[in-house]
Amino acid sequence: MYQEHLALGRELLCHEGLQRFLGHVVEGHYYVSLWTALIALEFGRPVRNEVLHGPGRTPVVDMCLDIIRRHYVSHSHNLSDSQNDLVADWLAKIDARYEMAASSCSKPVS
């Protein structure tokens, strides 16, 4: 089932583009918002300062990470220690990826 979710998400992402694909985060059923956030970060590769089009101009990366963290916090008690470690490691890698991108964008060009 996991592979089917990823395949569908990647297909929608390619067909719709990142901004339109992110419209699915408002869906509350069957963890659609969580899958949307995960797939957007892993395969959509938004740039650190990219904002969601429309009112509010929410930073895409921050929104996706917030959705993932809220889900993780509310469900971490259902996970084994090794699963919690995997999630924590993945979140740290995603944070590092976008922090590194943000710091490289702010460095002056020599």
54-61 own/partner pairs: CB under 8 Å, 24+ apart: 60/18, 60/22, 61/98
Q: Structurally, how many domains does the chain consist of?
A: 1
| Residue span of the structural domain in which 6 resides | 2-106
Q: What's the pTM value of the predicted model, to 2 decimals?
A: 0.72
Whether the pLDDT of residue 10 is over 60: the answer is: yes
Q: What is the pLDDT of residues 35-93, one digit of tens each?
A: 899 999 988 988 888 888 877 788 999 999 999 889 888 888 888 999 989 988 988 88
